[in-house]
Chains A and B, each alone.
Chain A
Amino acid sequence: QSVLTQPPSASGTPGQRVTISCSGSSSNIGSNYVYWYQQLPGTAPKLLIYRNNQRPSGVPDRFSGSKSGTSASLAISGLRSEDEADYYCAAWDDSLSAVVFGGGTKLTVL
């Protein structure tokens, strides 16, 4: 049981916009930055979004992050086949004094 809650799966067709949610609490998302990681099949995760909505160099602007209260979202616009991957949200949790991850969302491009 993950501290952050994500839907186990999401899907979309090429060109569509999809969003993935991440729900937490006041001790994690509510008071700290949210991060998103993309894990392509058979590879190590990669940082996709940091500090709620910032993209590292090289990450396309099709990817965007947002946060409101104790929830966060990752949006992917202009969906492409190469976006098919697992996506994880993460945040620091003040009560646990630990980094917490969501359970991951498997994105399928139909």
Chain B
Amino acid sequence: QITLKESGPTLVKPTQTLTLTCTFSGFSLSTSGVGVGWIRQPPGKALEWLALIYWDGDKRYSPSLKSRLTITKDTSKNQVVLTMTNMDPVDTATYYCVHDGSNWVGFDYWGQGTLVTVSS
């Protein structure tokens, strides 16, 4: 079965760079049509899509955060890494890793999420 798990720091200081790793199992990111992405949710607020990377290396980013985000994949390790530069307290949120299935099935599997707090 498909599982995803986020890992990374729980606390970062303002201006620092956040690096989050999504380690997944049950599928291959080399399978046509498959993607892995990141979505975040500030406490008590709505979901916000951040980035996606597809099996062929295609990358998509939120326009409002594009300058700060980088998404990469390591197919051999079954991992996707998201980096976000210049962190600010408003970036405090739960960050979710998601599986984007082929054939427009949407974000059909989610990680449990990891809460990242930005504070000095």
Q: Which B residues lie within 8 Å of A101 (CB)?
A: 46-49
Q: How far is the CA of A90 from the CA of B107 in the complex (A)?
A: 10
- Name the one of B49, B105, B108, B112 contacting A98, with C-beta atoms under 8 angstroms: B49
Against A, the Cβ 8 Å flags (1 = close, 0 = not) of B54-79 are 00000011110000000000000000
Per the CB 8 Å criterion, the residue count for chain A at the interface is 22
Answer whether residue B8 sits at the interface, using C-beta atoms and an 8 A cutoff: no
A97 to B66, CA, bound (A): 11
Binds B, one of A9-17, A18-26, A44-52, A72-80: A44-52
Chain A, interface SS category: strand
When distances are taken between beta carbons in the complex, the residues of chain A under 8 Å from B9 are none
Complex CA–CA separation, A97 to B51 (angstroms)? 11
Which residues of B are found within 8 Å of A90, using beta-carbon distances? 47, 49, 106-107
Which residue of B has the minimal Cβ distance to A48? Answer: B106
Give chain A nearest CB distance to B33 CB in angstroms.
Answer: 14
Residue of B nearest to A103 (CB): B46
A56 interface neighbour in B47, B108, B113, Cβ under 8 Å: B108
Beyond A47-B105, A104-B47: 7 further Cβ-contacts under 8 Å? A45-B96, A56-B108, A96-B63, A98-B63, A101-B48, A101-B49, A103-B46
